[in-house]
């Protein structure tokens, strides 16, 4: 008996030659295959006559086989199969290329159903490589709304359709994660009906209903995951860090700039969370240049002055080193020892003692005995040999760069010497503005603080779309900027020239061209992801020190460092980047009170994303536009999130997100440990192995 868990290798109709191909699509069980949903549908349900065929259309006809011939063309590795077919209104020909089985599939005098593209040559209309089925059989690939799937070599949509149809024709039963109460309340089809209608819909509406059901299911599991994750984390104990009003007030008063209202509000939310004996789990969601580092520093200062430790994780050495320098500078009035631990740097110091290089064992000992109160680092900080004395706060910059396993390693390290077994408070930060609906669905286990204001002294970055005929004017303007001591970023989508993307400039070649032809009196540097970490570090350091005037880079500069002197950003082939990514690039300039500029080089001045960037500077507004233009999957990167398709496509649907969240809350209230819902518990286990949102 076939069940959803039956391996596809045990299905008699699937031959061994298909096993590797199925693995390539990550299809191992019957349920995997059934959840391999169509990417689109072709409506071939309307039956036409031969007389009604029209050039350029895809149509279905029911005809009688009149004649079949085939021949191979020597030297061209081409095999042609030709057929002549008739109905009451006339005759028509069809041709197939390299499909030798067609001749054996057709018998003269038999009635068949045929769906395909209608083309025309000097002899008249013909069908090009149409799908065929016996007219008497239940439609699978012709004469119906036909599903089209993501394929791989040797595994066609036709083959997938046939296998799914065979499985659904058995007495297979399904355990549903959604209760009958939810199905009835939301008017959703049961699982068997949903699988049938998503693969073989009889109407467009039946497909839509099935899609909605699976979207609801995916979002429901996501919300259960988020709520259980939050409850599990909140069940632990944390150090209570008392709010020291005078300490924070004096620190803020002495800053060389004025905090925005958004920074003040976010700081207060975080400080109040730190007072609690349950672990904080908060996302600091900020726009580019909105000043999230100073908010993190306020939380770190209060924690360190309470005698506890803070760990700050950065995705790159360059950013970790920048944070280290900022903390040393702005905390110069406080006796706090600060450490920097990366694969390259092992440094510590306070403002009263110059930062000094040391060995990894020495700095680890200072962390273990609690002398270093603030430790800033990269992945080098998430190692088994790192043990803290009393880690009370973890701040993760660009949190999507660190996975759940790494976070768990840090928590384990925090608890290993802590007799109280306290979990650290967590503050995760991102400079990618996330729409509110997105934050609700994606980070349901987090509290969210928004930084949606820019510092008052920052001038809006002037942004313009530049077509090829105006590029020389921009180069002349940039030359004047460089002469005045300013610096320039040039962003390109590729490292090296591509044979496929012949119209896309590559960083390597473009850096040579700019050095030779455009800026011969300047120093042009090159930065890309294929370089070793030490090379990238060296290039960025030279750029920070103004030893490089023009930095040509691929997207590795997206999450970067502050170079206040960089005032110009050129983005080549700008249409090839997403809107949120373009906004991130633009945020590399405008890091001081100097007027900055962003030029979008493109041949297509009517591109909606580029026009939006030219018009808006608010990252949250641009994120909403990006969500609308490209969809959620492109917005955050499906591969990075691990989210299932149904959740991904509907994550911006606030009504569906709200409904599934409430259903998840009620489910967990009734059965917190999911003891009576083993199906949902198993679905949750599978979900955890795929997703990495924390």
DSSP 261-312: HHHHHHHHHHHHHHTSSS--EEEEEE-TTS-HHHHHHHHHHHHHHTT-EEEE
- How does pLDDT run across 294-317, given as a tens digit for each residue? 999 999 999 999 999 999 998 888
Percent of the residues in the chain that have a pLDDT greater than 70, as a whole number: 86
Least confident among 309-313, 481-485, 538-542? 538-542
Helix (H, G, I), strand (E, B) or coil at 194: helix
Q: How many CA atoms lie less than 13 Å away from 313 in the CB half-sphere?
A: 25
| Cβ 583 vs Cβ 613: under 8 Å | yes
Question: What mean pLDDT comes out for the span 605-613?
Answer: 88
The H or E element that residue 670 is part of is helix 654-670
Give the rounded distance of the alpha carbon of 548 from its chain centre. Answer: 32
At residue 133, the pLDDT reads: 94
pLDDT at 482 over 60: yes
pLDDT at 647 over 80: no
The better pLDDT of the pair 436, 250 is held by 250
Phi, psi angle pair for 369, to nearest 5°: -90, 0
Burial 137-176 (b: 16+ CB within 10 A, else e): eebbbbbbbbbbbeeeeebebbbbbebbbebeeeebeeeb
Residue 619: which pLDDT band, with cuts at 50, 70 and 90? Answer: confident
Residue 496: which pLDDT band, with cuts at 50, 70 and 90? Answer: low
Residue 590: which pLDDT band, with cuts at 50, 70 and 90? Answer: confident
- What's the CA gap between 524 and 516, in Å, rounded? 9
- What's the CA gap between 302 and 158, in Å, rounded? 63
Bridge partner list, 25: none
At residue 270, the pLDDT reads: 96
Bin 674: left if φ > 0, else alpha if -120 < ψ < 50, else beta: left
Question: What mean pLDDT comes out for the span 250-276?
Answer: 94
At residue 100, the pLDDT reads: 87
- 3-state SS, one letter per residue, for 374-390: EEEECHHHCCCCCCCCC
Helix (H, G, I), strand (E, B) or coil at 93: strand
Domains of the chain: 1-41+157-173 (no CATH), 46-143 (2.40.50.140), 245-275+291-430 (3.40.50.300), 462-616 (3.40.50.300)
- What's the CA gap between 668 and 335, in Å, rounded? 47
The better pLDDT of the pair 606, 558 is held by 606
Query: How many degrees, rounded to 5, is the angle at CA 212 between CA 209 and CA 218?
Result: 145
| Cβ 605 vs Cβ 465: under 8 Å | yes
- What's the CA gap between 449 and 446, in Å, rounded? 10
Question: What mean pLDDT comes out for the span 5-14?
Answer: 92
At residue 639, the pLDDT reads: 39
Question: What mean pLDDT comes out for the span 13-33?
Answer: 91
- What's the CA gap between 15 and 21, in Å, rounded? 11
- What's the CA gap between 434 and 660, in Å, rounded? 20
Least confident among 256-270, 377-391, 440-454, 650-664? 440-454
Task: Pick the closest to residue 168 from 193, 141, 132 (CA basis).
Answer: 193
Arithmetic mean of pLDDT over the chain: 84
pLDDT at 651 over 60: no
| Cβ 392 vs Cβ 309: under 8 Å | yes
E strands in 434-543: 447-451, 462-466, 487-491, 524-527
Residue 322: which pLDDT band, with cuts at 50, 70 and 90? Answer: confident
At residue 232, the pLDDT reads: 74
pLDDT at 642 over 90: no
- What's the CA gap between 576 and 492, in Å, rounded? 9
- How does pLDDT run across 61-114, given as a tens digit for each residue? 999 999 999 998 887 788 999 999 999 999 999 999 988 889 888 999 999 999
Task: Pick the closest to residue 33 from 70, 68, 7 (CA basis).
Answer: 7
Helix (H, G, I), strand (E, B) or coil at 350: strand
pLDDT at 400 over 50: no
Question: What mean pLDDT comes out for the span 268-279?
Answer: 94
Helix (H, G, I), strand (E, B) or coil at 632: helix
- What's the CA gap between 551 and 542, in Å, rounded? 10
Least confident among 210-224, 274-288, 613-627? 613-627
- What's the CA gap between 73 and 191, in Å, rounded? 50
pLDDT at 692 over 50: no
| Cβ 36 vs Cβ 160: under 8 Å | yes
């Amino acid at each position: 008996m076939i069940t959803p868990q039956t391996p596809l290798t045990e299905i008699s109709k699937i031959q061994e030659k298909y096993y590797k191909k199925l693995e390539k699509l990550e299809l191992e069980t019957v349920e995997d295959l059934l959840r391999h949903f169509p990417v689109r549908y072709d409506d071939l349900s309307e039956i036409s006559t031969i007389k009604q065929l029209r050039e350029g259309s895809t149509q279905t006809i029911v005809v009688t086989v009149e004649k079949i011939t085939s021949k191979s063309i020597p030297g061209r590795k081409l095999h042609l199969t030709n057929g002549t077919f008739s109905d009451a209104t006339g005759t028509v020909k069809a041709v197939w290329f390299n499909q030798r089985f067609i001749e054996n599939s057709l018998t003269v005098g038999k009635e068949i159903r045929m769906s395909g593209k209608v083309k025309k040559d000097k002899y008249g209309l013909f069908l090009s490589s149409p799908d065929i089925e016996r007219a008497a059989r239940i439609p699978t690939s012709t004469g119906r709304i036909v599903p089209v799937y993501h394929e791989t070599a040797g595994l066609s949509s036709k083959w997938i359709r046939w296998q799914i149809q065979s499985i659904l024709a058995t007495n297979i039963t399904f355990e549903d994660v959604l209760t009958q109460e939810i199905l009835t309340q939301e008017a959703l089809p049961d699982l068997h009906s949903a699988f049938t209608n998503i693969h073989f819909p009889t109407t467009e509406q039946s497909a839509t209903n099935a899609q909605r059901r699976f979207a609801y299911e995916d979002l429901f599991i996501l919300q259960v995951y988020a709520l259980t994750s939050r409850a599990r984390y909140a069940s632990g104990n944390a150090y209570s860090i008392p709010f020291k009003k005078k300490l924070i007030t004096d620190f803020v008063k002495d800053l060389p700039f004025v905090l925005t209202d958004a920074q003040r509000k976010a700081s207060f939310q975080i400080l109040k969370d730190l007072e609690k004996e349950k672990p904080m789990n908060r996302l600091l969601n900020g726009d580019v240049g909105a000043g999230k580092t100073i908010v993190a520093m306020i939380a770190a200062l209060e924690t360190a002055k309470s005698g506890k430790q803070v760990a700050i994780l950065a995705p790159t050495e360059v950013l970790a080193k920048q944070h280290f320098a900022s903390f040393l500078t702005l905390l110069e009035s406080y006796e706090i020892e600060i450490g920097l631990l990366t694969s390259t740097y092992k440094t510590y110091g306070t403002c009263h003692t110059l930062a000094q290089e040391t060995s990894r064992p020495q700095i680890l000992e200072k962390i273990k005995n609690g002398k270093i109160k603030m430790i800033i680092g990269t992945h080098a900080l998430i190692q088994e040999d790192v043990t803290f004395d009393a880690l009370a706060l973890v701040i993760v910059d660009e949190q999507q760069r660190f996975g759940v396993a790494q976070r768990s390693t840090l928590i384990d390290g925090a608890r290993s010497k802590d007799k109280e077994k306290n979990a650290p408070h967590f503050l995760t930060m991102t400079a990618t503005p996330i729409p509110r609906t997105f934050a609700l669905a994606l980070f349901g286990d987090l509290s969210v603080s928004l930084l949606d204001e820019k510092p008052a002294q920052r001038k809006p970055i002037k942004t313009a779309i530049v077509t090829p005929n105006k590029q020389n004017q921009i180069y002349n303007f940039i030359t004047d900027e460089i002469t005045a001591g300013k610096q320039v970023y040039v962003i390109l989508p590729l490292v090296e020239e591509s044979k496929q993307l012949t119209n896309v400039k590559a960083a390597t070649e473009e850096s040579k061209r700019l050095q030779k032809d455009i800026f011969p009196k300047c120093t042009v540097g090159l930065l890309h992801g294929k370089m070793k970490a030490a090379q990238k570090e060296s290039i960025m350091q030279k750029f920070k020190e103004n030893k490089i005037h023009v930095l040509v880079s691929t997207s590795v500069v997206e999450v970067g460092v502050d170079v206040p002197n960089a005032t110009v950003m050129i983005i080549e082939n700008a249409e090839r980047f997403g809107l949120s990514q373009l906004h991130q690039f633009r945020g590399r300039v405008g890091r001081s009170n100097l007027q900055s500029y962003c030029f979008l080089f493109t041949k297509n001045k009517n591109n909606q994303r580029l026009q939006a960037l030219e018009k808006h500077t608010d990252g949250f507004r641009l994120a909403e536009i990006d969500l609308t233009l490209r969809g959620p999957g492109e917005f955050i990167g499906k591969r990075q999130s691990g989210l299932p398709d149904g959740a991904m496509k509907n994550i911006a649907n606030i009504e569906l997100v709200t409904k599934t969240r409430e259903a998840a809350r009620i489910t967990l209230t009734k059965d917190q440990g999911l003891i009576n819902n083993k199906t949902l518990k198993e679905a949750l286990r599978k979900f955890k192995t795929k997703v990495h949102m924390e």
